[in-house]
DNA sequence: AATGAATGAGCCTTCATTCAT
DNA sequence: TATGAATGAAGGCTCATTCAT
């Protein structure tokens, strides 16, 4: 836990930001609005964050940290590589389905940033991507996955596929169940489309 | 060609915008900078576009239109559903690999927009997504693809996978060949990861 | 008639301007809007008027010219100074009551101008003011008006009084009859308020 | 005093605006110029006023408020309706004669506004107009003024007359004494022009 | 640590005017 | 004369950030 000693206001600001960002998007969210939502003065925000953008990245890292914890625990408890992949997909979909603010944050707001910030976010995502990579490696080793798998590539195809499914579901207005897509998604990842 | 009769300045502005957006990102690109790049006066831009944002969406639709043309031609000439899918992936990767500005535009800039704009972009992307869907349907019909395929889901998994591969390649600094990923990508789409 | 040889478009532009100014006010009226209303191209306006402001002053002088004609004829036909003053007031009120566009122009738009333009307008108004002054002088001479009248001052008090009555009527939304005020107004001018 | 608790900067901005408006007119006065004159940053103005136009109306209401105070005190101390009317005219003329900036503001700048703003100004002026009306009513009651006086009309004739005298004096370049006009003006209001 | 009033750089957009045709 | 596409100066307003208290 890197953040265990951060003061309450730090989290209050992050919570306020999460709400305001989700409602208005990053560029249309004023710092003063976040301050009001967090119940602090405008200037106070700058005691905890250097720039407005830092709130966004901190928020992401904080939330992603929690998520990766869950992913790790699930993978540890899994009986096989295939089972681990299913758990990853289950958690990925269910966590975002059950937390719309978080979904907006990851699928919409975090994309609203320039290349530099995107790199930083990519860095934070790395832990998640590597988790998938490890599962793929394990599957290759125990013989359940193809031995010629390009793990660097496939981890992107898997992550990108899930990511797009979530974004599409979000933009559509969450009209259908996201978790119901876990089965068919896993199926595609495992067997592809060829008969 | 819906845009064949647009005056030269319209395209000059779009070209200027493409360059400026790719270099600085949408929010950090001044309209006056685009005007200078296009060789027109600031005000002239507003004879062709209502708002700054309209330049971005028009640019996207113009470029995507050209791309979809290429996709359509390739699919028409393809011998099978599998071949069509390969062509799609080939064009998707090669076009963006050979046009860095366009790649920045689609992978970075266009994501820097609020929900409303994202919906508009999603609408424009629909044509591409449906193209993929048609290929999947065709493969199901001729028996080369699994009969139980959820095309609505798989089209997203395929598009999302390719999209992520491109973004990752772009953010990494284009250190490796994107087109070299076509083979393994197709392989994953066809057979999945299970042995 | 100074304007008898002006081409049709000159008048078309003035008519268009009158309508547009009355609807939106001088500062919120675009030249292009006037051009459209007049059925000419934007640039054509500048063949007849040097600047946007010139349209306003020309319009005023043109219209005031017509009005002063009417005032002059009425005064010529009047039997006495008192009768002349009544006719002035009647025409002043009825002309504006029957021509709302003209009323907006004189009471609202023409005031929306800087000091320099105000002086020019004042100059155009001079003919009207002098008309009132002449009536006052005549009344002094024929003994029907007080011999100690300060005509330079009273002409302003009379004009200003009528002007305010019109403006008040206009701003109120023309809820009552303006011409019905002629009688009491004359009464005040003739006898004042003291018993 | 409704404004007694407004912070110093509020008044500093109003003073700056008064000067700048009087010198250049409302439309030609930049907000940044007012800020500089007031010794504050541009943005500070928007902490106290919503829009540029609000500075104008606030200025008017502040100043008119002060003036109406003076009018009220004078009327209270007056011995008769006629005396009250004289005091009104005296203050009206002398205040504007002794405060050229204020005179420009009321006679020129405040007229440079569209219908909507004019209505707002009319509303603010109401208090003054009603003051005159009350004097007229009082004079009718105590028998010193005509019993058949149309107070709603005459109050406008009186206000309009004085207003025009001030404007004319201002536009002429203040070449003569305005307060010297009080006597003859009152005379006209009391007896009219008939012998 | 906390405040929030104050700052001032920055920019999109409008629109009167011009000029090549 | 007439056009209308093109110009480009100009400025109101926002809002991330600072700093005196």
Name which residue leads in pLDDT, A163 or A113. Answer: A163
Residue A53 to residue B25: CA distance in whole angstroms: 15
pLDDT at residue B113 above 70?
no
A158 and B160 in contact (C-beta within 8 Å)?
no
Q: Report yes or no on B78 lying in a domain.
A: yes
Q: What is the pLDDT of residues D56-88, one digit of tens each?
A: 989 988 988 889 899 999 999 999 999 999 999
pLDDT at residue C112 above 90?
no
Q: What is the mean pLDDT of chain A?
A: 90
Q: Report yes or no on D25 lying in a domain.
A: no
Which pLDDT score is estimated for C4? 57
Q: Stated in angstroms, how far is B9 CA from E21 C1'?
A: 18
Residue C98, helix vs strand vs coil: coil
Which pLDDT score is estimated for A23? 85
**Residue C145 gets which letter from DSSP?**
B
pLDDT at residue C2 above 70?
no
pLDDT at residue B111 above 80?
no
Residue A194 pairs in a beta bridge with B145
Q: Residue D65: phi, psi to the nearest 5?
A: -55, -50
Could you tell me which residues come within 8 angstroms of residue D50 by beta carbon, excluding any fewer than 6 positions away? Answer: none
Domain count, chain A: 1
Q: Per-residue confidence at C119, pLDDT binned at 50, 70, 90?
A: confident
Q: Report yes or no on C93 lying in a domain.
A: yes
- Compute CA distances C4 → C11, C71, C173, D22, D195, whole Å: 11, 20, 35, 40, 43
Q: Report yes or no on A6 lying in a domain.
A: no
Instruction: Tell me which chain A residues have a C-beta less than 8 angstroms from the C-beta of B136.
Output: 193
Which pLDDT score is estimated for B115? 65
Which pLDDT score is estimated for C178? 97
Q: Per-residue confidence at A16, pLDDT binned at 50, 70, 90?
A: very high
Q: Stated in angstroms, how far is B87 CA from E1 C1'?
A: 61
D136 touches chain C (CB under 8 A): yes
Residue whose tokens read 């090669």: B94
A146 touches chain B (CB under 8 A): yes
Lowest mean pLDDT segment, chosen from B113-117, C151-155, D5-9, D101-105 = B113-117
Name which residue leads in pLDDT, D94 or D195. Answer: D94
pLDDT at residue C115 above 80?
no
Nearest CA in chain D to C126: D168
Which pLDDT score is estimated for A121? 79
Q: Report yes or no on A106 lying in a domain.
A: yes
Protein residues contacting strand F, judged by Cβ under 7 Å: A 28-32, 42-43, 45-46, 51-52; B 7, 9, 40-44, 46-47; C 7, 9, 40-44, 46-47; D 28-32, 42-43, 46, 51-52
Q: Residue C145: phi, psi to the nearest 5?
A: -110, 160
Average pLDDT over residues D179-184: 97
- Percent of chain B whose predicted confidence (pLDDT) is above 70: 95
C159 and C106 in contact (C-beta within 8 Å)?
no
Average pLDDT over residues B134-147: 95
User: What is the dihedral angle through the alpha carbons of C95, C97, C98, C100, rounded to the nearest 10 degrees?
Assistant: 110
B73 is in which domain, residue-wise? 52-191
Name which residue leads in pLDDT, A57 or D40. Answer: D40
Q: Report yes or no on B80 lying in a domain.
A: yes
Is D191–C191 a contact, with Cβ atoms under 8 angstroms apart?
yes
The CATH number linked to A149 is: 1.10.357.10
Q: Report yes or no on A9 lying in a domain.
A: no
Which pLDDT score is estimated for B104? 86
Residue numbers of A between 73 and 92 with CB closer than 8 Å to B: 82
pLDDT at residue A2 above 50?
no
Average pLDDT over residues D88-94: 97
Q: What is the pLDDT of residues D107-122, one digit of tens each?
A: 887 776 666 777 777 8
Which pLDDT score is estimated for C117? 72
C192 touches chain D (CB under 8 A): yes
Is D157–C145 a contact, with Cβ atoms under 8 angstroms apart?
no
Q: Stated in angstroms, how far is C54 CA from E16 C1'?
A: 13
Could you tell me which residues come within 8 angstroms of residue C14 by beta carbon, excluding any fewer than 6 positions away? Answer: C55, C58, C59, C62
Residue B169, helix vs strand vs coil: helix
pLDDT at residue B157 above 70?
yes
Q: Report yes or no on D40 lying in a domain.
A: no
């Amino acid at each position: 836990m890197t953040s265990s000693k951060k003061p309450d206001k730090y989290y209050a600001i992050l919570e306020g930001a999460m709400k305001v960002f989700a409602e208005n998007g990053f560029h249309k969210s004023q710092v003063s609005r976040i301050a009001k939502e967090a119940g602090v003065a405008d200037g106070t925000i700058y005691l905890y964050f250097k720039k407005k953008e830092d709130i966004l990245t901190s928020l992401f890292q904080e939330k992603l940290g929690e998520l990766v914890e869950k992913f790790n625990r699930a993978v540890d408890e899994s009986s096989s590589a295939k089972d681990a992949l299913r758990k990853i997909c289950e958690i990925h979909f269910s966590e975002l389905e059950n937390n719309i603010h978080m979904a907006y944050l990851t699928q919409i707001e975090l994309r609203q940033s320039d290349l530099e910030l995107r790199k930083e976010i990519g860095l934070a995502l790395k832990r998640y991507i590597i988790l998938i990579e490890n599962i793929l490696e394990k599957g290759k080793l125990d013989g359940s996955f193809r031995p010629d798998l390009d793990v660097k590539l496939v981890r992107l195809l898997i992550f990108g596929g899930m990511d797009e499914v979530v974004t599409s579901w979000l933009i559509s207005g969450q009209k259908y169940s996201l978790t119901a897509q876990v089965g068919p998604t896993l199926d595609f990842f495992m067997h592809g489309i060829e008969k």
